[in-house]
Amino acid sequence: MEERKLKELAETLPTPSYIFDTDMLMERLSWTAGKLCPAKLCFAVKANPFLVGFMDAFVERYEVCSPGEFHICVKNKIPMEKVVLSGVYKEEKDVRYAMEQGVVHYTAESKRQFDLVQQCAADLGKTVEILLRVTSGNQFGMCEEDVTELIRRREQVLPLQIAGLQYFTGTQKKSIQKIKGELQYIEGLLQRLSEEEGFAAKVLEFGPGLGVPYFTKEDPKEDAKLLEDFAQLMEEKRPYELVFEMGRFLAASCGYYVTEVVDQKKNNAVNVCIVDGGIHHVNYYGQNMAMKTPVLTYLPRHSIEEEEAVPWTVYGALCTVSDILLKKLPLQDVRVGDRLIFHNIGAYSVTEGIYLFLSRKMPRIYRYSRQKGAELLRDEVETWELNTWK
């Protein structure tokens, strides 16, 4: 978004608010899809459910990890063939409901999940495809022995068809060598399964976890370099379709968060300002107790009288010493009513925050496009009713 337009929106919209720039999102999607073609993209809905539906032209699949996320897809009329039902915990009623709605893509993170999906498909007379998730040593996925065992009995579980493997180890990776090593590992496993078990995979869903720059001391172009390097790994043809599951890399840059200074003081020698937002709204991966400064814009709403910038510590509205957003931020003539715009907040913050702490309101959410301007997606939401009995 142009700086002029961003400041105009931040000046006029109520705070605290998120703004998701769908023009920027489309540009990011087009750029990423173009670099990785012919591989397909899968958007992790957990990164930002408010973007579901805006990505259909570029996204082959939406990764859904909970019943709630699936209901969001149904509400937004996402084609069911685009949904892959994933997640470490699946209940029978939810798997059945998804199949009844027309979902054909599933993942299995355990042998128990595999049997559950197979039983539901058999009961409903559905033919569905499943990806076997391979663990990287944490709670996700299965060990190689369990994966091999399921593949060995693949002819016995019709109408369930094992389409291939899924592999994801983590996020915010900045080393192309680490990503390359992970891709080589999972493709090596597919090769062994082909040679030893006669298994011909149709699909490999791989989460590269490409990192994005959040903080002022990071190179703002490092994600572009990372994508270029990753794209070079795609030059070799594969006998199966590659699907890259991404969330943060696609969504982070399209989001802004606007919060207003509501109080200020000097505590001993420290300049302190309080904003109407806080850590329940702002959550950058890798930031802890304001040890790093994210990219942001200061928007004074008065004529600046002090020429010299002085360091300010910015706290949120929660009654906890943990609610610290920025330390020693150089600002000029800060006053109540001024605003701060946090950049690159399009992924996770909108749902990851500790929203129920202190029963404060949840922020408004807007989407912006040059064609339609700012549109309210969700008004502010009271949370106190969720924290009391009826």
Domain end position, chosen among 246, 278, 295: 246
Q: Is residue 4 in some structural domain?
A: no
**How much of the chain, in percent, has pLDDT values that exceed 90?**
93
Domain match, 218 and 278 both: no
Domain match, 194 and 95 both: yes
Number of domains in the chain: 2
- Max mean pLDDT range (8-12, 283-287, 288-292, 307-311): 8-12
The CATH number of the domain holding residue 146 is 3.20.20.10
The CATH number of the domain holding residue 373 is 2.40.37.10
Domain match, 370 and 265 both: yes
Q: Please, are residues 117 and 91 in contact by the beta-carbon 8 Å criterion?
A: no
pLDDT single digits (tens) 107-137 = 999 999 999 999 999 999 999 999 999 999 9
Measured CA distances, 339 to 7, 185, 294 (Å): 10, 47, 15
Domain match, 191 and 330 both: no
- Mean pLDDT value across residues 142-166: 94
Domain match, 227 and 260 both: no
pLDDT single digits (tens) 290-345 = 899 999 999 998 888 777 899 999 999 999 999 999 999 999 999 999 999 999 99
Domain match, 214 and 345 both: no
Specify the residue for token string 């890259």. 244
**Stated pTM of the model:** 0.95
Q: Is residue 48 in some structural domain?
A: no
Structure tokens at 147: 């994966």
Domain end position, chosen among 246, 277, 299: 246
Domain match, 330 and 242 both: no
Domain end position, chosen among 215, 246, 277: 246
Q: Is residue 57 in some structural domain?
A: no
Domain match, 284 and 319 both: yes
Taken in order 45, 49, 50, 53, the sign of the CA dihedral is positive
Domain match, 240 and 121 both: yes
pLDDT single digits (tens) 40-55 = 999 999 999 999 988 9
What distance in Å separates the CA atoms of residue 369 and residue 354, rounded to the nearest whole number?
29
Domain match, 192 and 115 both: yes
Residue 232 has pLDDT above 90, yes or no: yes
- Structural domain of residue 290, as residue ranges? 254-387
**Which three-class secondary structure string do you get for the chain?**
CCHHHHHHHHHHCCCCEEEEEHHHHHHHHHHHHHHHCCCEEEEEHHHCHHHCCCCCCCCCEEEECCHHHHHHHHHCCCCHHHEEECCCCCCHHHHHHHHHHCCCEEEECCHHHHHHHHHHHHHHCCCEEEEEEECCCCCCCECHHHHHHHHHCHHHCCCEEEEEEEEECCCCECCHHHHHHHHHHHHHHHHHHHHHHCCCCCEEEEECCECCCCECCCCCCHHHHHHHHHHHCCCCCCCCEEEEEECHHHHHHHEEEEEEEEEEEEECCEEEEEECCCCCCCCCCCCCCCCCCECEEEECCCCCCCCCCEEEEEECCCCCCCCEEEEEEEECCCCCCCEEEECCCCCCHHHHCCCCHHHCCECEEEEEECCCEEEEEECCECCHHHHCCC
What distance in Å separates the CA atoms of residue 368 and residue 146, rounded to the nearest whole number?
46
Q: What is the CA radius of gyration of the chain?
A: 23
pLDDT single digits (tens) 30-86 = 999 999 999 999 999 999 999 998 899 999 999 999 999 999 999 999 999 999 999
What distance in Å separates the CA atoms of residue 33 and residue 16, rounded to the nearest whole number?
33
CB burial of residue 344 (10 Å; 0-12, 13-18, 19+): buried
